[in-house]
Amino acid sequence: VVIVTDANVARLLEFPTLARGPLAVLEPGECAKTLATVERLYRSFLEAGLDRKGAVLAVGGGVVGDVAGFAAATWMRGTAIVHVPTTLLAMVDSAIGGKTGVDFEGKNLVGAFHQPSGVFASLEALASLPAREVRSGLGEVLKSAILAGEELFSRIERDAASLAAVDLDVLEPVVLGCVALKAGIVARDEREDGERALLNLGHTLGHALEALEGFSSNLLHGEAVAIGIHFAFRLARRLGLAPESELSRVRACAARLGLSVARRFDPARALELMKKDKKARAGELRLVLPHAIGRVALVDGVPEAMIRAELEAFAASS
Ligand SMILES: NC(=O)c1ccc[n+]([C@@H]2O[C@H](COP(=O)([O-])OP(=O)(O)OC[C@H]3O[C@@H](n4cnc5c(N)ncnc54)[C@H](O)[C@@H]3O)[C@@H](O)[C@H]2O)c1
Ligand SMILES: [Zn+2]
C-alpha cells in the first residue's frame, strides 16, 4: 500500500502503523492537482514496488483524492484506490463517485472514472479543519441540499450556524444525506450520460471563476460553487424558470452558512471559459438550472446573449 497525503494532513494526523509503509506527501492545495504531481506519484509507486494487487490509500481532501485516484487509475492500467477523506468537501462529495483527475489548462480536463474500493470517513478529522475550508465544504453541501429537496434543504437552513461551527452531531445526518444523494445518482448514472450532470449545479461558472484565479487559494472550490449556484438561480430567474422567492431563499441560506455569493470578475473572460466546460456540446453550453429546491434540470440552447447579460448584471451587482 502506498499512502498519499498532503503536508498539512501529514503534520496533523498520525499514521501509527501505516507510516512504516511508503508515504507520498504532496504540497497542500489545488496547485498540486497537476500532471507533474501524477508523475511524482508514479515514481513513488515504482520505488514502493506497487503492483496491481496493491492499493493506493488517499488520506486528505479532494485534491489528494483526485490526483491519487487518477494516478491509481492509470498505474498498471488500474490499481485499487481507497479514500480516507479528511475535509468536509471530500466527505460529502469528492471521495464518492469515482471521478479522478487533474487540472490541465482548464479545471479537471484530464481524468478517469475509477471507483474506490472503499471510503472511510471519520467526522473527528474535521476538528482541525480551518473555518474557511469548512465553509468551502458547505458550498457543496448547499448544492447537494438543493438537489436532494426540501427535507435536506430545510435542515441545513435551520442548522446552518451549528454546521458552520462543526457541531458533529448536527453534521452527521447532513453528511450522510449528501453521501446518500451522490451515491444514489452515481449508481444510476456512473458515466454522466444524464442525471449525474446535475451534480454540476453551480460548477459551470464556478470552474470558470477558479480558472480566472489561476486555481489558487484566492478562491476555494466550494466558495466558487456557492457563487455559481447563486448565478444559476439568477439566470433561471431571468429565463422565467425559477421564481424570485427561490433565489432569495438560497441566497439567505448561503449567507447563514457563511458563504459569500458576490464576486467581481470579468464577464467576457468568464463566458469564454464557460464554453470550454466539459458539459458543452459542439461549443454550445449546457447549463444545470434550478426551477426550485429539489427541482433542477440540464438545459440546452440557452441563448448566449442571455448568459452574457446575466453575467454582466451579476458581476456589476457584486
Ligand atoms: N472527484 C470529485 O467528484 C470531486 C467533487 C468535488 C470536488 N472535487 C475536487 O476537490 C478539490 C477540493 O477539495 P478540498 O476542498 O478537500 O481541498 P484540499 O484537498 O485542497 O483540502 C483543503 C485544505 O485543507 C487541508 N486539510 C485537509 N484535511 C485537513 C484536516 N483534517 N485538518 C486540517 N487541514 C486539513 C489541506 O491540506 C488543504 O490545505 C477540488 O480540486 C475539486 O475540484 C472533486
Ligand atoms: Zn464540486
What confidence tens digit (pLDDT) does each residue in 272-297 have? 999 988 777 777 889 999 999 999 99
Q: How far apart are CA 88 and CA 30, in angstroms?
A: 16
Of 89-98, 273-282, 309-318, the one with minimum mean pLDDT is 273-282
Nearest Cα neighbor of 206 from 230, 189, 190 is: 230
**Coil, strand or helix: which one is 119?**
strand
Nearest-CA residue for atom 18 of ligand 1: 61
Q: Is the CB of residue 179 below 6 angstroms from any atom belonging to ligand 1?
A: no
Per-residue cell: 194: 444524464
pLDDT category at 211 given cuts 50, 70, 90 is: very high
Q: Which residues are catalytic?
A: 77, 99, 140, 182, 192, 196, 200, 203, 207, 221
Instruction: Assess whether pLDDT exceeds 70 at residue 19.
Output: no
Q: Can you tell me the mean pLDDT for 286-311?
A: 96
Atom of ligand 1 nearest to the CA of 90: 16
pTM over 0.85: yes
Instruction: Assess whether pLDDT exceeds 70 at residue 18.
Output: no
Instruction: Assess whether pLDDT exceeds 80 at residue 261.
Output: yes
Q: Is the CB of residue 178 below 6 angstroms from any atom belonging to ligand 1?
A: no
Tens of pLDDT, residues 57-87: 999 999 999 999 999 999 999 999 999 999 9
Tens of pLDDT, residues 235-258: 999 999 999 999 999 999 999 999
Q: Please check whether residue 225 is in contact with residue 232, taking contact to mean a CB–CB distance below 8 angstroms.
A: no
pLDDT value at position 232? 98
Indicate the top mutation candidate among 59, 178, 207, 221 to test ligand 1's pocket, ranked by most ligand atoms within 8 A of CB.
221
Q: Is the CB of residue 85 below 6 angstroms from any atom belonging to ligand 1?
A: no
